[in-house]
Amino acid sequence: MPNELSPTTDSNEPRAYQIRLKGQLGSEWAEWFGGLSITLADNGDTLLTGPVVDQAALHGLLKRVRDLGMPLVSVSPVEPDQADVSEVKS
């Protein structure tokens, strides 16, 4: 049965996500978040962007956000080319 939320996505390939947090994180947190890129937005938010292998891994990342105590603003799937940023931008 096809996935109704993303019928054209190959379930064997990692999906790229952007997780937006209220507040700013430094580059030293990238490894803790599984190597996701960290971008500091102009409005003071932090964007964590990169491939996530499956839903279990996504839930693990969200648990880390919870444990960090930063407010979660949004979680959005992104195109893979948007997830290629590998450095902290401010």
* Domains in the chain with CATH codes: 15-83 (3.30.70)
What pLDDT score was predicted for residue 45?
Answer: 97
Q: Is 76 helix (H, G, I), strand (E, B) or coil?
A: strand
C-beta separation of 34 from 61 below 8 A: yes
What pLDDT score was predicted for residue 82?
Answer: 60
C-beta separation of 87 from 27 below 8 A: yes
| Single pTM value for the model | 0.76
pLDDT tens digit string along 24-67?
999 899 999 999 999 999 999 999 999 999 999 999 999 999 99
Q: Is the pLDDT of residue 87 over 70?
A: no
- The answer to whether the Cα torsion of 25, 65, 34, 18 is positive or negative is negative
Residue 64 or residue 85, greater confidence: 64
